[in-house]
A = this chain, B = another copy of it.
């Protein structure tokens, strides 16, 4: 498969593919000679993953490069590789540790993890980006004056735990570590938007049931 065909089959312009090659999002094709390269089905698949991450997951190009770097890193062990790929994903601003709301949110999330018995997550609070994202969002929520009981958060967490277990089960159906890492990334980048869309659809459904369309 040459560049033009790769472009046609993926729906991505050749100029953009060249850009991705330059940026290291796509491995170079097999060089036939100075001016020709051959691409495989694997390139097409990777290109589709890149597009999904950028268009659906709205990840910056630099983040995509980092994530794929971990997915492809055979030197990493299973858990580390998976964690590294997922930890490169986030895009939330760093919490301002001087802010009173942020410090309060830290304590609340700590209590949440205790209640849930998530001992492993608890030991990662200083480094996990997911933990930080949760703190940032909760702090913003509190800053707006919303007084959710922590119990509400616990219920949400249990729901998401169920979803996470199902995702991990699905991930385990893949054979190689690289495939598993890719499945985990696709899960984070594509399943999460699906969950979000389902959440809003459910809200619309529920709103219509309660109040009708008047």
Contacts and interface: CB of A to CB of B under 8 A. Distances in A.
Q: Counting chain B CB atoms within 10 Å of each CB, which of A89, A170, A197 scores highest?
A: A197
Contacts of A205: 118, 120-121, 161, 164
Interface stretch (A16-24, A30-38, A49-57, A62-70): A49-57
Contacts of A48: 140, 143-144
A205 B122 CA distance: 9
B200 A86 contact: yes
Given A156-B198, A166-B155, A193 B137 contact: yes
A156 B163 contact: yes
Contacts of A203: 86, 164, 167-168, 184, 188
A140 B56 contact: yes
A15 interface: no
Tell me the number of copies of this protein: 2
Contacts of A143: 48, 52
A131 B201 contact: yes
Q: Counting chain B CB atoms within 10 Å of each CB, which of A11, A56, A212 scores highest?
A: A56
B78 A164 contact: no
Contacts of A83: 204, 207
Contacts of A49: 144
Interface string A182-205: 011010101111111111111111
A82 interface: yes
A144 B52 contact: yes
A140 B57 CA distance: 10
Given A49-B144, A130-B201, A192-B196, 18 more contacts: A52-B141, A56-B93, A77-B214, A79-B208, A79-B212, A118-B202, A121-B202, A121-B205, A128-B204, A140-B190, A141-B194, A146-B183, A159-B160, A160-B199, A160-B201, A161-B205, A165-B206, A168-B203
